[in-house]
Amino acid sequence: MSTIVHASCDENRKIKGGAAGDQTGKEVCTRSWYSKPWSYVLRPKDPQIAEKAIQAAISLAKSNKVGYDQNQRNTLYNELKKHNFDVNKIGFCETDCSAFVTACYIIGGIPQLNYTSNAPTTSTMVKTFLDTGYFEPLTDAKYLKTDMFLKRGDILVKPGAHTVMVVEVSNPYKEPTTLIKKGSKGDGAKWVQWQLACKGYLEWNEVDGEFGPKSHNATVTFQKANNLEADGIVGPKTREILRK
C-alpha cells in the first residue's frame, strides 16, 4: 500500500478553532493511501521538484508545528516566507489540505505557486497547478481508484473535498532473488518492470511479466544513468538502485 501525507482535521476533529500546531500528531500526518474516490491526479513532470516537495511534506508532518485550521490556513505559508522557506525554523502555525500541498511544492521549486492573499482551494487548485506547466493531469480510473500506478509526488484531488500527496509507493510484485534478464518471465520480471515504469523507463502497459527487448533496453538505459554495469541484467546492485 502506498503512503500519503495530508492535512486532515484539527485536534477536535473539526475544520477550525483548534490551537496552533499539531496537538495530536494526526492533524498533518502520513497514512496509507485510500480511495476517496479521487477525481484527479496531478503528476509532477520534474522528479527533483517532486522529491524536494516530498521531503518538505514529511518534515513538516513530523515536526508537529503545523496544525489544521481552515480559518488560519495561510499561516504556514506566512511562517515559511518569514524564514526563507526553511522548514526547520518555522513556529507553530496552521494550514489545510490544499494550502499544505501548495506550500510543499513552493518549497519544491515552483515559484508560480506563491500567492499574496489566499492559497488555492481544492476547488481551484487543479487549474492553478496545471497553469504552472509543471504538472500533467491524469483522470483514468486506474490512477484514481487504485494506488498501483501512482508515483512519488503525485497529488490526488477531489475538488471541494480533499487533497493529499503521495510520498511513497509500494511494488505489488515480490522482489526477485535471482537474476532477471532477457527471456525472464513471471512476477520477478514484473517487479523489475514496475520499478522501471515508476521511474519513467517503461510504459505501464509494458509491465507484463515478459522481460523482452523493451525491458532489456530500458534496463540498460537505467543502468547507464546510475553508473552501473550496463548489461541489461538485473542483479542485486541494480535491484538496490531500483528500490530507491
Q: Nearest 5°: CA angle at 45, between 236 and 151?
A: 45
Share in percent of the chain as helix, strand, coil (round to 5): 35, 15, 45
Segment 33-48 mean pLDDT: 96
Confidence band for 198, pLDDT divided at 50, 70 and 90: confident
Mean residue pLDDT across the chain: 96
CB atoms within 10 A of CB 51: 15
Domain ranges of the chain: 3-168, 187-243
Strand partners, 47: none
3-state secondary structure of 208: coil
Share of the chain above pLDDT 70, in %: 100
Instruction: Write down the architecture of domain 187-243 according to CATH.
Output: Orthogonal Bundle (1.10)
Q: Dump pLDDT digits (tens) for 100-143.
A: 999 999 999 999 999 999 999 999 999 999 999 999 999 999 89
DSSP code of residue 152: T
Q: Dump pLDDT digits (tens) for 155-187.
A: 999 999 999 999 998 888 999 999 999 999 999
Confidence band for 49, pLDDT divided at 50, 70 and 90: very high
Whether the Cβ atoms of residue 37 and residue 158 lie closer than 8 Å to each other = yes
pLDDT at 107: 98
The set of cell numbers assigned to 123 is: 476547488
Confidence band for 1, pLDDT divided at 50, 70 and 90: confident
pLDDT at 180: 98
Q: Dump pLDDT digits (tens) for 210-231.
A: 999 999 999 999 999 999 999 9
pTM of the model: 0.80
Tell me: pLDDT of 233 over 90.
Answer: yes
Query: Please, which residues have CB within 8 angstroms of residue 193's CB and are 6 or more apart in sequence?
Result: 202, 206, 207, 208, 209, 211, 215
User: By C-alpha distance, which of 1, 54, 57 is closest to 172?
Assistant: 1
pLDDT at 149: 87
The set of cell numbers assigned to 11 is: 485536534
The H-or-E segment that residue 198 falls in is helix 187-198
pLDDT at 24: 97
pLDDT at 225: 96
pLDDT at 199: 84
Q: Dump pLDDT digits (tens) for 138-159.
A: 999 989 999 988 999 999 999 9
pLDDT at 45: 96
Q: What are phi and psi of 44, to 5 degrees?
A: -65, 140
Segment 4-31 mean pLDDT: 97
Query: Please, which residues have CB within 8 angstroms of residue 144's CB and are 6 or more apart in sequence?
Result: 35, 37, 38, 39, 40, 41, 156
The H-or-E segment that residue 56 falls in is helix 47-63
Query: Please, which residues have CB within 8 angstroms of residue 155's CB and are 6 or more apart in sequence?
Result: 41, 42, 43, 44, 101, 105, 129, 135, 163, 164, 165, 166
